[in-house]
Amino acid sequence: MNGSIRRQILIPIVAIQTATIAAITAAGVGLAASRNERQSVARLATVIDVLERSTFPLTSQVLERMHGLSEAHFVVKDAAGRTFSASDEGLAAQAPDARAVPDFRPPDFASWRQWPTLKVDGRTYYAAKIPAPASSAGGGATLLVLYPESSWRAALWDVAAAPVGLGLAAIALSAQAARWFADRIGRRVHRLRGQVARIADGDFAEIEPGEGRDEIADLIQSVNQMSRQLRDMRRAAAQAERTQLLAQLAAGFAHQLRNTLTGARLGVQLHAKRCGATGNDTSLGVAVRQLELAEEQVRGLLTLGRLEQRPHGPCDVAGLVRDVASLLEPTSRHARVALEVDAPDRPAVADVDESSLRAAVLNLGWNALDAAGAGGRVRFQLIAAADTMVIEVADDGPGPPADLAAAIFDPFVTGKPEGVGLGLALARRVAEAHRGTLGWRRDEGWTRFRLTLPREAPDTPQAGSVDESGPDRG
């Protein structure tokens, strides 16, 4: 069937209900009418039997009373065909000839439809005759029995009115209920069609399945699940594209920077040998260490472009955290940010890629210094458990912008005008390369980034895991 789902539901249901109710009503009316007809015929037969055996004259007054009992009219004609008495004055003058009326035989007259009909003065009557008592009009007199067809129709309507009325009401209610049901289904299907159209346009918003728990609600939930999966797939595809672009950009930048950093480190080392440092001045040593670290991180960027992974080895993570904090200390003093370190003095060893982990923690530290701002605080904390290492870098700054919170780890997402948006993305890739996690939360005015790593290196290297870049202030 073509057309809307409303019509496809409404028309068959209403048609079936109408046919069913009509059949039931017709059967009920037929049975009731037949029963009523048999009762009225039997009542009239009783009246006729009484009149036939009567010994008193059948005067007009007697016949009128018999009319009130049976609704039939009675006319007495003598042997010459003259009217002797009648239950109705109009029929007294226009009564039919008795010879044209058949005799009444009770076994043969179980229904009005078995009676012959006559028209008298424009009205139709069911007619029969019996011999009249001799006391009424002498010997050979005839009693005509005339039952109005209109009385039978009126009795039939009285019997049928209630069932027909109830049947029509039931049909109307059924049609209204079917229409409401079809409209409800149609609206839900229309919402579902709109959602599918929006998904085709790239809008993966979900819709409420509604209060009902039926097949359409299950279908809506399935479409919602498909929408979530498509949204995740699109996000993953976009992430993969950004990651690939990140790898290409990183490799390109690293190739240009490597020789420059190597030359700068050699120059600082040569200056330190020729001029030396006076007193407690350690600035040249810090500069050399940072240049060496930058070279290592640039080599990591080259590896990132080739999508390779370097082997893991034992590393004192507590010493690494303290070392990163010491590298950031001159910057923190210059930015007037209080730097705190909470790491155990004893070694906390884990199998990691030390260079990439150092780069990730350094990126987290740079971001924390930028977020804290002048007068702020930054805290490094190492939580060493039996199976995991948790490095937490926290700052008391205002936290990431609300509109960037959900995508803070995506490449090139940054809230700083001068930022590139690579630091946190690369830090997360370091965590994933170690089969760990990197997450963040706001807690009592602090923004806490937690890098969680297993203490044991993964048995099988993760495909596509890479070395990471140095500090990015994005």
> At 459, is the pLDDT very low, low, confident or very high (cuts 50, 70, 90)?
low
Dist CA 468 CA 250 (whole Å): 9
What is the predicted pLDDT for the residue at 390?
94
Confidence of residue 253 (pLDDT cuts 50, 70, 90): low
CA-to-CA dists, residue 310 to 239, 351, 356, angstroms = 23, 12, 9
Selection from 27-31, 74-78, 247-251 with the highest mean pLDDT: 74-78
**199-244 confidence digits (pLDDT tens):** 888 787 887 776 667 777 788 888 888 888 888 888 878 777 766 6
Q: What span, in angstroms and rounded, lies between the C-alpha atoms of 339 and 396? A: 11
CATH homologous superfamily of 310-474: Histidine kinase-like ATPase, C-terminal domain (3.30.565.10)
Residue 105 reports pLDDT greater than 70: no
Task: Please tell me if the domain spanning 5-160 has the same topology as the one spanning 207-308.
Answer: no
Average predicted confidence (pLDDT) for the chain = 77
Closest CA to 406 of 227, 237, 244, 235: 235
Q: Model's pTM, two decimal places?
A: 0.46
Looking at per-residue confidence, does 44 or 62 come out higher?
Answer: 62
Instruction: Give the whole-number percent of the chain exceeding pLDDT 70.
Output: 78
pLDDT band (50, 70, 90) for residue 473: very low
- State pLDDT tens for residues 334-368: 889 999 999 988 888 999 888 888 888 988 998 89
Distance between alpha carbon 217 and the CA centroid of its chain, in Å? 5
pLDDT of 66 over the 80 cut? yes
Structure token pair of residue 212: 């009902």
pLDDT per residue over 24-40, tens digit each? 877 777 777 777 777 77
Q: Is 36 exposed, middle or buried (0-12, 13-18, 19+ CB in 10 A)?
A: middle
Mean pLDDT for the stretch of residues 14-23 = 78
Please give the pLDDT value at position 5: 63
Top mean pLDDT of 22-26, 278-282, 455-459 is at 22-26
The pLDDT, as a whole number, for residue 321 is 92
Out of 122-126, 133-137, 409-413, the most confident range is: 122-126
The whole-angstrom separation of Cα 288 and Cα 277 is 13
| pLDDT for residue 148 is more than 70 | yes
CB 352, CB 317: distance < 8 Å = yes
5-160 CATH fold: Beta-Lactamase (3.30.450)
Confidence of residue 447 (pLDDT cuts 50, 70, 90): very high
Element spanning 173, H or E: helix 149-200
Distance CA 196, CA 227 (A): 9
Cα 329 from chain centroid? 56
Give the pLDDT score at 309. 60
Domain locations in the chain?
Answer: 5-160, 207-308, 310-474
Q: 207-308 in CATH: which number?
A: 1.10.287
